[in-house]
Amino acid sequence: MADVMTHKDPFFTPRRRRQLVSVLLAALSAIWVYPLVWMIFASFKPNSELFSNPGMIPDAPTVENYVRAWREANISTYFFNTLFVTVGSVVITSIASALMGYVLGRRPVPGRFAIMGLMVFTLFIPQGYTIIPVFELLTKLGLGQSLWGLMLATCGHSIVVFTLLFAGYFTQMPKELEEACRMDGVGPVKTFVYVMLPLAKPIIVTVVVMQSLQAWNDFLLPLVITLANPAMRTLSVGIYSFKGENFVDWGGMTAASTIAIVPIILLFLFLQRYFIDGLAGAVKG
């Protein structure tokens, strides 16, 4: 009934409203990252202080937790194990999925729709369903007790998603590019390496970033594979076991955890766009 024009409180101009929203979001973000920030601060507190000082900021900052975790809790070994598995699986997965995505996306190969269909069908199979045969297979191949086996199996996690990402990207490239190559007498392998692959750079970065995340954070697979072989643990499994073995060493645990998250968080902050694009691409496809 009141005049519509004056109904709006002039206090809430669009700009004011945005500022208010920003403040609320800032508060939410602070709560959201609080656990991570708390952990990083805690890793610099000596164990005695951890239990007595409820505040976030350490009174007497120390790196002794890191020294202890790195040396005594084998975190150094776990760190390099994880690095090996991550780098290796990223290299293999990107190459394999790019090649397969290219062929499935734009080559008139007999049987490609059958392969695509099969792949899509398996898209949602849970890891818990496949873990036993994967473990058996690695054991039979003699890779059940080796980092190579873990690395290869880690490649399997998202190969389907990555292949579909590549296929979707290659499908929409103009076919004249390949025809130009054919006219120039450039063979299929060289066409792929010099023309198609460089053009797929955004997808390559996305796949590298997402596979790094996946491999670095993987848990069930390395847990199962390293059950009988602690020397092969990755950081995730190492930290998990740390909790079981030295439960009172909060300082050591938080230090080890910080070591585990710093590389991946740095990777995320620097290549944020590719994480986002990759995920967005996955849901649009």
Task: Name residues contacting other proteins, limited to 70-109 (CB under 8 A).
Answer: 92-93, 95-97, 99-100, 102-104, 107-109
Minimum CB distance to other proteins, residue 171 (Å): 15
Long-range Cβ contact pairs of 16-19 (< 8 A, separation 24 or more): none
116 touches other proteins by CB under 8 A: no
Number of residues that bind other proteins (CB under 8 A): 113
Task: Please report, as residue ranges, which positions from 207 to 236 form the binding site for other proteins (by CB under 8 A).
Answer: 213, 216-217, 219-220, 223-224, 227, 235-236
Query: Closest CB to other proteins among 3 and 176?
Result: 176
Tokens, residue 27: 């508060």
Identify which of 144, 126, 128, 130 has the alpha carbon closest to the alpha carbon of residue 225.
144
Q: Where are the alpha helices (DSSP H) in the chain?
A: 4-7, 14-42, 47-52, 64-71, 75-106, 112-121, 127-140, 147-156, 159-171, 176-183, 188-190, 197-199, 201-217, 220-225, 235-245, 250-270, 272-284
Question: Length of the chain, please?
Answer: 285
274 touches other proteins by CB under 8 A: no
Task: Please report, as residue ranges, which positions from 131 to 150 form the binding site for other proteins (by CB under 8 A).
Answer: 131-134, 136-137
- Distance in angstroms (rounded) separating the CA atoms of residues 267 and 205: 12
239 touches other proteins by CB under 8 A: yes
10 touches other proteins by CB under 8 A: no
Minimum CB distance to other proteins, residue 63 (Å): 18
Query: Closest CB to other proteins among 62 and 241?
Result: 241
Answer for the pair 275, 268: CB distance below 8 angstroms, yes or no: yes
Among 25, 60, 63, 67, binds other proteins (CB under 8 A): 25
Task: Please report, as residue ranges, which positions from 249 to 268 form the binding site for other proteins (by CB under 8 A).
Answer: 250, 253-254, 257, 260-261, 264-265, 267-268
Identify which of 219, 207, 262, 202 has the alpha carbon closest to the alpha carbon of residue 90.
207
Among 36, 60, 67, 87, binds other proteins (CB under 8 A): 36
